[in-house]
Amino acid sequence: NGKIYAIYSVGNPEAINGKDNLSIQISNTADENIKKVTLSYEYRGVTKQLTFDVPVNKTAGFTKTEITQNYKNYWQENGYVTTAYEGEVKVLAIPIWFTDSNEFISTDDTIKDSNNKTQREQIIEDLNTALFGENEDITFRSLRTYYLEESLGRLKISGKVTPWYESNTKSIDYGDKDSAITTLTVDAVKWYFDESGTSETRADYDANNDGKIDHIMVFYGSNYHCFRNGYAVASGWCRKVGDTTDSYISRSSFSWISALDMYGINGLSPNVYDQLNKNDLSTIHGIKAKTIIHEFAHAIGILDIYDTSMKNEPAGGFSMQSGKTGGHDPYNMMAMGWANPYVFDSSDTTLSNEITITINDFQSSGDIILLTPNWDSEKQIFDEYILLELFTATGLNQYDANDWKIPDLVGIRLWHINASVDSSTNRHYNTNNSLESNYDLVHFIRNDTGCEYRSFTALDRQDYLFDEGDSFDMETYKSQFYNADGKLDNGTSLGWSFEVTGITVDEYGNATATIKLVKTA
């Protein structure tokens, strides 16, 4: 399945595809049917090399459709510049110390961790780990390793966490006031480059030379920054800085996240965990970068697929932008240009009425089946269709599957996509917010004919995948579509049904699924 593993002296084999310390060279041999492959992997000063011959397998079969109409085009047409999602990206992270931060973070220099760091020092170090660290130093992934793995090495994130920026305000002063938080961000960036004594310049954080800092992350030094309905709120979000006199900041993206979110103690009273008296927060709570990963996704153009009105769970809490779990859904992976689908158009008369195709698990291969009644080569993914992927508890999905106590989870995950674009505005008609649109942008189809379109079901994920022997047709599952009439939202028939005829899993958890597609009237 194209996966490369490193075996260490202790622990389980680790998939190392996409790691920046792995190099792969493919060269010709005297035999045109044989290629020589050389792998080199460097780990903590030790380099291992493996060279072997690989037969060239030339087969006639299905080919993936290259997606050229992706989010890069979509956002550019809307006049919205995203952080680059290929190549080098520089992140400037600034922690903010408020006048009331000592209510949340200890200033007692006698309280130190195992590395003789105070809490203030420890948080800086742990933020560096959460943003740019190695997998073995963090729970799940760091921001850097997550996107390096998911993009198959296309996106390489680096950067720096600055010292604390001292603000003469209270954290609670900011509430939900975006303008005040934006002003704070601008002031903090100005302080770092113009007043802190650093030798770095704004241009050092503009890897793609577009005249903007690639991304700014502001970590506020408190458990929460406002109250809603009497409850403390620790918001995390990504926004654009408005127009400012500093051209490197103007219209740049920035994230606003609690510095304590990585320990899982944001939004709670400091007394709950008695955190002021604990000398090693990362050892006690671990370090998780999931909120950081989720919010950075917005900077590169990925949309939330949970219902922000909190009335439904259209994506089942089953993706990084819905529940902060695992990898991203296949729609957003296509939209980023990180995956291409096998497209099956039921109106294509050159296709057989019955088709059998075998796909690899999505985590290792990016394989996706796209079923459509009429493929539009200009709209491409910005249309309505059905997606199939083979979900496995491997790669970016492994941590959460273990947490759910279903480490062997495998099956076909089915999605209904309605990414139609309004030609008058160049924007999606639909979102996953049920208050904004009747139709969902990305909808997880549960393998349960009793589920309705507006569903809050997000548990028992193993029961909602399609297993070997399961089948799907629009009439049987019509209750999970808005119109519940056996047709797509646009009123057309999908023209396809399918059956999962086989699923196999190897010793490393890599899987293949064989799907029989059948044209329907």
Is the model's pLDDT at 283 over the cut of 90?
Answer: no
Cα–Cα dist 193/187, whole Å:
10
Mean pLDDT value of segment 500-507: 93
Which residues neighbour 361 within 8 Å (Cβ) at sequence distance 6 or greater? 1, 367, 390, 391, 392, 394, 410, 510, 511, 512, 513
- Output the pLDDT for position 225: 64
Q: Indicate the pLDDT class of residue 76, thresholds 50, 70 and 90.
A: confident
Which residues neighbour 427 within 8 Å (Cβ) at sequence distance 6 or greater? 78, 421
- Condensed to tens digits (0 to 9), the pLDDT of residues 126-170 reads 999 999 999 989 989 999 999 999 999 999 999 999 999 999 998
Cα–Cα dist 158/92, whole Å:
9
Helix or strand run (H / E) with residue 172: none
Helix (H, G, I), strand (E, B), or coil: what is residue 74?
helix
Each domain of the chain, given as residue ranges in start order, spans 5-55, 83-299, 307-519
- Output the pLDDT for position 320: 94
Answer whether 417's CB lies under 8 Å from 382's CB.
no
Helix (H, G, I), strand (E, B), or coil: what is residue 307?
coil
Answer whether 396's CB lies under 8 Å from 424's CB.
no
User: In terms of pLDDT, which residue wins out, 126 or 36?
Assistant: 126
DSSP state of 194: H
- Output the pLDDT for position 387: 99
- Output the pLDDT for position 273: 58
- Output the pLDDT for position 140: 92
In degrees rounded to 5, what are phi and psi of residue 331?
-60, -50
- Condensed to tens digits (0 to 9), the pLDDT of residues 455-465 reads 765 555 667 99
Q: Give the count of beta carbons closer than 10 Å to the beta carbon of residue 109.
A: 10
Q: Indicate the pLDDT class of residue 281, thresholds 50, 70 and 90.
A: confident
- Condensed to tens digits (0 to 9), the pLDDT of residues 241-267 reads 878 888 898 878 899 999 999 988 766
Cα–Cα dist 95/38, whole Å:
43
Query: Poorest-confidence range of 199-213, 412-426, 432-446?
Result: 432-446
Q: Which residues of 183-210 are buried (b: 16+ CB within 10 A; e: fewer)?
A: ebbbebbbbbbeeeeeeeebeebbbeee
Q: Indicate the pLDDT class of residue 445, thresholds 50, 70 and 90.
A: very high
Which residues neighbour 8 within 8 Å (Cβ) at sequence distance 6 or greater? 14, 43
- Condensed to tens digits (0 to 9), the pLDDT of residues 191-247 reads 999 999 999 999 999 999 999 999 999 999 988 766 666 666 667 888 878 788 888
Cα–Cα dist 202/210, whole Å:
12
Cα–Cα dist 386/416, whole Å:
5
- Output the pLDDT for position 237: 83
- Output the pLDDT for position 204: 98
- Output the pLDDT for position 248: 92
Mean pLDDT value of segment 170-187: 83
Sequence letter at residue 481:
F
Is the model's pLDDT at 375 over the cut of 90?
Answer: yes
For the chain, what is the largest distance between any 2 Cα atoms, rounded to a whole number of angstroms?
76
Instruction: Tell me the Cα Rg of the chain.
Output: 24
Average pLDDT in the chain: 88
User: In terms of pLDDT, which residue wins out, 388 or 55?
Assistant: 388
Which residues neighbour 46 within 8 Å (Cβ) at sequence distance 6 or greater? none
Mean pLDDT value of segment 271-285: 73
Angstrom distances, CA of residue 152 to CA of 69, 122, 405: 20, 31, 27
Is the model's pLDDT at 348 over the cut of 90?
Answer: yes
Burial class (CB in 10 A: 0-12, 13-18, 19+), 272: exposed
Burial class (CB in 10 A: 0-12, 13-18, 19+), 53: exposed
Q: Give the count of beta carbons closer than 10 Å to the beta carbon of residue 376.
A: 13
Nearest C-alpha neighbor of 121 from the set 141, 90, 97, 157: 97
Structure tokens at 253: 């993206």
When mean pLDDT is compared over 251-255, 336-340, 423-427, the highest value belongs to 336-340
Q: For 170-235, where are the alpha helices, taking DSSP H only? A: 178-194
Place of tokens 């800092």: 213
Cα–Cα dist 457/339, whole Å:
28
User: In terms of pLDDT, which residue wins out, 298 or 18?
Assistant: 298
- Output the pLDDT for position 310: 66
